[in-house]
Structures are given as C-alpha cells and as structure tokens.
Amino acid sequence: MLTAILTDAEDRMQKSVEFFRKDLASVRAGRANPAILDKITVEYYGAATPLNQLGNISAPEPRLLTIQPWDKSALAAIEKAILKSDLGLNPNNDGSIIRLAIPQLTEERRAQLVKATKKKGEDCKVSIRNIRRDVADKIKADEKAKTCSEDEAKKANDDLQKATDKYIKEIDKILDAKEKEIMEV
C-alpha cells in the first residue's frame, strides 16, 4: 500500500520536473533555440494551432531561426502570431520563409530572465513540496487507520523526504544550467 503511494508521488514529482524543464526551454537565452516558439499558437483556418505544427522550424545560425510553413497561405498568420507574442522578435517574411533574428540580450534583460527562471524554479519546488505534504498526510492517515505500522510509516516518510530532496536538487541543477546559458555573452 505505502509503496504504491510512494511510487505515485515519485511519478508526480518527475512530471513536475519535466514540465519545468520544458517551460524553461521556451525562455529565450542569447542563442537561437526553436523551443522558444513552442508556446506560440497561430489562428489558422479558425482554429488556434501550435506554430510547430504549421511548418518546419530550424536554427541554421546561432542568432537566427527560420520558419518554413507547409502552407504558404499561413505566412501572414504566423507573422501576426509572432508579433503578438511576448518574445519581442520581429519576423522577416520573404514570401516563402520567415526569418527571426535573435538580438543580443542586454545585461538588464539577462538579469530579468534569470529572475523569471528562478521564480519558475521556486514554483516547481513548491509543487514538489505540496506533493510531499499530500503523500505525508496519506501516510499519516494509513497509520491512524492501522493499515500500516509505525515503523513502516516512518520508513515511508524517510523515503518520501529522500525523493523530495532528489527532485529539488535536480531543479537546482536545471536552474544553474539555464542561468549560465542566459548569462553567456
């Protein structure tokens, strides 16, 4: 019973970390990364469609992204969606391909991005701690209901804390790597 609860907790913590990792991939660093366009949706034939489903996105150079739509009629809609996004990029449309020049980040903008990533990291840590609290409550309820012994409950709580510490360290590693990536000149 307790092993199932702990396994479920680990799965939920792992999913939180994976979501955090994907969320950070969309944060613009100094280099061109197609993942920064993942959150953009384009109004295409009346439906909100993710940009990455409308064409091929690539980074041929360190400071350039290219978007080659499969349907040329979507160029204007893609351009409009990029301009509406909070990325601050100006698309350059030549009739068949959209080029996005990634400008050099200012020191002030880098500091803002680091601050934003740290906040996202803290939010992820809070979600992991919430998972720990929920599972600890379940363990306590099982102990009160006499479905597990006091020793089993103590061991389960220790295992839960170890899992929590492991995932929080993983978040810190991801944050450190992203901070270095943002601060690179």
Per-domain residue ranges of the chain: 2-25+106-183, 34-101
Mean pLDDT of 90-102: 86
Mean pLDDT of 77-85: 87
Tokens in use for 33? 């990364």
138: pLDDT strictly greater than 80: yes
Question: What is the value of pTM for the model shown?
Answer: 0.70
Residue 64 has pLDDT above 80, yes or no: yes
pLDDT exceeds 70 at position 111: yes
Cα–Cα distance for residue pair 38/68, rounded to 1 Å: 15
pLDDT band at 28 (very low <50, low <70, confident <90, very high): low
Q: What pLDDT is recorded for position 110? A: 82
143 within 8 A of 1, measured Cβ to Cβ = no
Under the phi-then-psi rule, with left for phi > 0, alpha for psi from -120 to 50, and beta for the rest, what region is 164? alpha
Q: Which CATH architecture has domain 34-101?
A: 2-Layer Sandwich (3.30)
**Cα gap 151→129, rounded to integer Å:** 23
**pLDDT above 90: residue 131:** yes
CATH superfamily label, 2-25+106-183 = Ribosome-recycling factor (1.10.132.20)
Q: Where is pLDDT greater, at 36 or 119?
A: 119
* H helix or E strand, kind and range, residue 109: helix 107-144
Examine the pLDDT at 89 and tell me if it is beyond 60: yes
Q: CB of 33 within 8 A of CB of 59?
A: yes
**Residue % of the chain over a pLDDT of 90:** 32
Quick one: how many helices (H) and strands (E) in the chain?
4, 6
Task: Say if residue 185's pLDDT is above 60.
Answer: no
What local confidence, expressed as pLDDT, does residue 104 receive?
79
Backbone angles phi, psi at 97, to 5 degrees: -145, 150
Residue 107, pLDDT score: 84
Mean pLDDT across the stretch 12-39?
A: 82
In this prediction, residue 135 carries a pLDDT of 92
Whether 30 has a pLDDT exceeding 70, the answer reads no
